[in-house]
Chains A and B, each alone.
Chain A
Amino acid sequence: MANGFFTDTTLCIGCKACEVACKQWNQLPADGYDFSRMSYDNTVALTATTWRHVSFIEQLSGGAAGRTSGTGHEAGASAISETILQGDGAAPGQAVGFLGENRWLMMSDVCKHCTHAGCLDACPTGAIIRNEFGDVYVQPDVCNGCGYCVPACPFGVIDLNHADGRAWKCTLCYDRQKDGFTPACAKACPTQSILFGDVDELRERAHVRVGALHERGVTDAYLYGVDEHTSVGDLNAFFLLVDQPETYNLPERPHLPQAQVIPAYVATVVTALALGTATLMAFVMGGRRS
C-alpha cells in the first residue's frame, strides 16, 4: 500500500502547470530567467528547487533533432521550419503532431519514489525515510547536507540546495496528503496526465490506458516503472512512454547503487585480511633474520 503518481506522457500538453503548482505550494524559489536554447524546456532538469520538470522532445523526420542526439536548437529549429514550409503532408496547424511520424513528446518528470531507493539507503543521518504513505521523504530538520544521496540517486533527482545546505526533492506533497489533499501537481494538471492515488490502483488504470492506446494504434505505448525486474524495483511514480526511456532522459535499466555494497565490503575485508597477514609476516620474518 503506497500512494504515488501515474504520469501519462501521451496526455501531457507541456503547459508546465505542474511545475508552477509545485513551486507555489512548496514555496520553492525561482531558478532564474535563463533560456536553455534547446527547446521550450527552460527548466532543464529536476533540482533542489524544482521538483516537477516538463521535458520537451522534438522528433522530426526532417532533421531528426530529438530522435538522434539532440545536437542543439539549430538543428531542431531548421527541422521545424523545413517541416512547416514543406507541409510534410500535414494540414496547416498540424505540422508537428503528438503521436505521428513527426511528433512532439512531453513528459512531466518527478522523483520516482523507488521501491528500493538509492538516496534512502545512502543517507547516513536517517534524514531520508519512507513515510506512512510509502513515499521517500527527506526530513529537513535532520538532513545535514553531506551530499551522499546526490550521486546515489539512479535517476539524478535529489540535489543539494547550496543556499540552505540541505538535500531536497519531491515530497509527494507529504503535508497535503496528511490533510487528505491531492498533491499540488496532480491537482493542477488540466489533462489528467498526472494521476495521484494508490499505486496498485494506478497500475491497473495504467494497464487499461496502455490497452486502449494499443487498440487505437499507438503500439509503442508502454509503462516505465511497472513490473520492473531491476534492483531499484517498481517505481511509485511511474510513467507511460511511447519511446525508449533514454529519449526521456530515463535510464533503460536503472540499478540500485547499494546492490553491490555487501560484495564490495566482503572484497575489501578479504583484501584487508590478506594485507594484514602480509604485514605481520613481514615483521615476523624480519625478526627471524635480525
Chain B
Amino acid sequence: MNEPETRPSDVAAEELEDRRPSDPGVQPGPTEEGLAVATRSQRRMIVRRFLQHRLAVISLVILVLLIVGSLVGGRLWRYGYAEQLPEFNQSPSWGHPMGIDAIGRDLLAKVLRGAQRSVQVALLVALLSTTIGTIVGAVAGYYRGVLDAVLMRVTDLFLVVPQLAVFLLLARIVGGGWFQLSLIIAAFFWMPIARIVRAEFLSLRETEYVDAARALGAGDLRIILRHLIPNAIGSIIVNASIVVAVAILAETSLSYLGLGIAAPDTSLGLLVSEGQSAFETRPYLFYFPGLLIVLIALTVNFVGDGLRDAFDPKQSRARR
C-alpha cells in the first residue's frame, strides 16, 4: 500500500491550508500530493485495493465472461438447447465443440443454457437471502431485547432443520421451475447473513455517530438505512458473494437429485446428472458441465476474497 494515502491525513489537511490554490479553477496536478490525497474517495480506495488482488481480478474477468457468454452465447450459438439433431453420441469436434449427447442435442448449447439458469438461480438466491438476512439481522441487532431473542431463535431453527429433507419436500410441493427453486434455496440461505449483520449492528449501534444522528433528530429507520447499513455493507457484500458460490452448488445438487430444474430446461446440475450415466464411455458429457460448475464456484469465491480484502484495509496490508 502506498502509505501517505491511508494514514490519518492531519498532515495532508495542514498542507492543504498552506497550499490554497490561487486559482480555484486549477485542477490538482500530480505534483500536488496533498490535494490528490484529499480528493480520493472511499469508493476509489476500495476499487484500488480490489484491483491489487490479482487472483480476484482475474476471477472477476472470467466470471463476467462466463455470465455474459452464457447469456449472449446461448442466443448466438447455431444450435438450440432443445434442438434435436440427426446425429447423436458424437465426440467433441469443430462443429460441436462439446460433442452431442445420446439423444442428439448439442452439448455446448445445453451447457450455455444450463450455466445461464444456474447463474440466474444463484444471483436471485444471493439477492433474496441477503435482503432477508440483512433485514432480520438489522432489526435484531438494532432493537435487541425480546425482538432480538425471537428473531435469533427463528434463525437457529432454520439452521438446525435438516435442509436437504426440507428442500426435497418443498421442491415436490412447489414444483421445479428455476424461480421456485431460487425461493426454496433462498429460504435456507439467509441465516449466516442475519447473524453477521446482527453482530455488526450490535457494535455499530454503540458508536457515537449513531448517538450523534439521533441527537440530530434522525429516526430509527433512517439510522438503520442511512447510517448503519452503509457501515456494514462490506461484510454484507462479501457474504452475498459467498452465497452465490454456495447457491450454485445447492442448485446443482437439487437438480442432480431431480428436484430442481427439469427437462426440457436444463441446468449445470442436471447436465452432470445426465452425463454421469455415460461416464465410462463418453466422459466429456460429464466433464464439461462439471468443470464449469467448479470454475464458477471457484471464481466467485476468489472475487469474494478480493472484496473482503478491499473492504478491510488492515487485512490487505498485512498480506502485502
Q: Please indicate whether A and B come from the same complex rather than being unrelated chains.
A: no
Interface residues of B (CB under 8 A from A): none
